[in-house]
Amino acid sequence: MGKRVAVCAVEQTGFFTNLWQKRFQEMAFDIVEPIIRKTGVTFDMATGIRNIITCSDDVFDARTISDNAMTDAVGAHYRGEEKVTMDGINAIGYGLACVLSGHDDIILIVGHCKESQSESRDMVTNLAFDPFYYRPLGLDFKNVAALQARAYMNKSGVTDEHLAKVVVNSRKNAALNPAANARELLTEEQVLKSPMTCDPIRLLHEYPVSDGAVAMLLVCEERASEFTDKPVWISGFANCMDSYFLGDKDLVGNFSLKKAAERAYRKAGVKNPAEEFDLVEVNDCFAYQTPMWLEGLGLCGEGKGSALIDGGGLKTCNVNKSGGMLAGNPLMIGGLARAAEAVIQLRGEAGDRQVEGAKKALAHGTTGAAGQFHSVLVLDSE
């Protein structure tokens, strides 16, 4: 085993459908300040934070080079700063590289996104497609997800009833998570009767429009104890990219997720993912993605997503104790919020939703249409 990197602190704003009264900068500072206060970390160039990794998106922020507007609020003036414009969970991989290369001892990560500020989240994701072949057809992350949902449901036997169970489970968990956005309990009947927005995706299968921010402090092994007595160790991280054009890839093959998981598990020494994790956080923007990503992560067998739901596996495997993405995080930091929940659980600070004795957790993030790109993070408390 090589050197290790610890997550020494995590903060989140809490997530809301319209945080109109907070600027991006205030959202960020609201979570950076408690990290400084609780850990005692400074911005001293010899002993403190010399480098900051932010995560945001130019179109969601309606500002070219969106990080430039954030630097003072995250303490980045007069020091290094770089931006990740993918799911913010990749900032953890980036920070890991900065520390393991020996260039930095400490990395501050700050991701933010306010989906509510654009008139339509779907118009933002339409711009992810090329301007000649796909964008003119109105493709966006929702209608493309609907194509994937149909293909996955045909292949796996996951039904509308299964998806209702997924949403009900998400809300049950979210009700115990003060940071979650959609916390109202739902019945299966309510989900089954919600309007079909993009067949087979129903309104209540979609994650709600959400605003919020997440921050983390990564520290090299030698210095972790300066900042916390409850470090959480990054034991494996990997990501993988699939084809850009939707028609080029097997929509139900989970190719990039399997590759990312395989590499993260190998590094972390995970041999049997279905048995080893005390909790699992998957980035499920739409209800069908919960079982589909669980299959890709090897947490149940191929095509066994429906059996896992029927057998109560979402509960027994502690899937998305935060409520998951379905309970509402903004797109750019969906996976970073999953990682935040995993860290909170491994620190034993998850309150009413705490998984007792949690030692090993999996956090997953995804970027792009229909799971084009996946990131897998393994975290340990020991």
Partner 1 sequence: MARQKLRQKDDKHEHCYIRDGKLALPYQYFAGRVGSRFLIALRDKKQILGVKCEKCNRVFVPPRQRCERCMEDLSDSWVELSDTGELTNYTVVNYEDKHLPRKPPYILAMIKLGGADTPLPHILEGIEPGKVELGMKVKAVFADETTNTILDVDHFEPV
Q: Identify the residue whose tokens are 């309606």.
A: 62
Question: How far is it, in rounded angstroms, from Cα 83 to Cα 51?
Answer: 11
Contacts of 131 (CB under 8 A, 6+ apart): none
Stretch 102-121 residues interacting with partner 1 (CB under 8 A): 119-120
* Contact range with partner 1 by CB under 8 A, out of 46-54, 136-144, 175-183, 319-327: 136-144
Length of the chain: 382
Q: Is 130 in the site for partner 1 (CB under 8 A)?
A: yes
Q: Which residues pair with 281 in a beta bridge?
A: 363
Nearer to partner 1, 79 or 249 (CB): 249
Q: Is 126 in the site for partner 1 (CB under 8 A)?
A: yes
Q: Is 27 in the site for partner 1 (CB under 8 A)?
A: no
Nearer to partner 1, 116 or 354 (CB): 116
- From the list 159, 155, 169, the residue with the least C-alpha distance to 284 is 169
- From the list 35, 19, 115, 17, the residue with the least C-alpha distance to 73 is 35
Q: Is 21 in the site for partner 1 (CB under 8 A)?
A: yes
Q: Which residues pair with 377 in a beta bridge?
A: 237, 363
Q: How far is CA 256 from the centre of its chain?
A: 16
Is 267 in a helix, a strand, or coil?
helix
Question: Which structure tokens are listed for 56?
Answer: 């945001």
Asked, as a colleague might, if the bond just before 200 is cis with ω within 30 of 0, I would say yes
Q: Is 198 in the site for partner 1 (CB under 8 A)?
A: yes
Give the shortest CB-248-to-partner 1 separation in angstroms: 5
Question: How far is it, in rounded angstroms, from Cα 321 to Cα 299?
Answer: 16
Q: Identify the residue whose tokens are 């939703």.
A: 353
Q: Is 17 in the site for partner 1 (CB under 8 A)?
A: no
Stretch 148-167 residues interacting with partner 1 (CB under 8 A): 149-151, 154
Nearer to partner 1, 44 or 119 (CB): 119
Each residue 233-272 as x (binds partner 1 by CB under 8 A) or -, in order, gives ----------x-xxxx--x---------------------
Nearer to partner 1, 190 or 197 (CB): 197
Each residue 200-239 as x (binds partner 1 by CB under 8 A) or -, in order, gives xx--------------------------------------
Residues that bind partner 1 (CB under 8 A): 20-21, 59, 62, 119-120, 122-123, 126, 130-140, 142-143, 146-147, 149-151, 154, 195-201, 243, 245-248, 251
